[in-house]
Structure 1
Amino acid sequence: MGSVDTDEVAAVPGLRAAVGFYSGKVGRLLQRKSELEAELALVAAEVAKVSATRDQLREALEEILADAPPPVNEETAPDGPAGDGSPQTESGPNTDPPPGQQDRAPADDDPPPPRTEVAAGQRTATGELMEAVERILVTAGRSMPVRDITEALGRPTRGKAGRGPLATVRGTCKRLVKNGRVVEEPVGMFAVARANGSPTKEAA
């Protein structure tokens, strides 16, 4: 038993050294853990900031695309055998196109009236939306973001379903700003303009 006790006593310095070593390692690991947690918090904040910037740019892109006029396809080359320069005019007068072209000619002339009617309808709808947005801002008596205005109109503002309405309302607010009926101050906040161009503010 005496030899065992002696061996245990002899092992004490080594055990103390091991305890000290691992205690130091635990301290370093805890410090590293705190540093990583702080770094993770910074990364999370950066992700939120970048995501917000991405969403703003996406809305701006959708607004531009919504306001852009549709592409117009203009046919510069004449249809039919008269435009190819071949000597087929000897078979008959140039004013007598084949039956197929006679059937298509009225169809080519028909689209302009519907397009005019659609354009007039769009202008009417745009004017009604501008009046609705202006009424909401007058009633609120304060600056409002596009999302709140869109919600007040009863339109969706979340997810894919909300992208189109948000872009449309944002474009409408921008047009009201150009007309001098609304001011954007600060950026992204819209309010009814006073006579001097400053936003209308009502006391609570």
Structure 2
Amino acid sequence: MQWPQLRAEAAANRLRDELLAGTLGDVDHARIERAWQVARLQRRQHVFSDAVLTEGAAACPHGSRQRDVPGRVAVHDLVVRQVRIGQADTTERNPHAYRGAGIALDPGVLGTSALAVGPPGSGKTARIVRPVVESLCLQALSGQAAVIYLTSGGAHRTPDDAFDAIVRVGDPGSPTPTRPRPCSPRRWWAI
């Protein structure tokens, strides 16, 4: 990864050095790549380069400033936005070419909806739901997706401080969701 689109920039050298030092991870790469695309569209390459020179792999952060999810449970490829969920069964019902092949899901598949059917305890949550949610959270950290968590009021849920914004339906004191505007140096890359 030589960052050819930034070859004339000192920012490319900073990213290369962080990659070689092991401080630039896959989420950082995806986030910085996304920020670069937005910077080019908005003709703000200089703002992007300044951020990378100043902060290196931590440049253009998610609002939470997190750069990864703790304790990953699945294998992810953030370049193609896929998460591996297992292997195809080797039974005769599957075509020979697909027997034992790895199975991965991407946003194109998930965008059309997904249905996991199986008896209780068969592994639907551990083998499908958790990896998919983890993938969406990684994509959110890299600026490629937004995650919305819905639950009933009395259900066990994640603490409020785990989220960037909490919107309670029917609560007049709840904030109105808004899109960040590209005016702040830290938030300019958000769409």
Question: Which TM-score tier does this pair reach, normalised by the shorter chain?
Answer: under 0.3
| Structure ranking higher in helix proportion | 1
Task: State the TM-score, normalizing by the size of structure 2.
Answer: 0.19
Higher relative CO (Cα under 8 Å, sequence separation at least 6) belongs to 2
Task: State the TM-score, normalizing by the size of structure 1.
Answer: 0.18
Larger Rg: 1
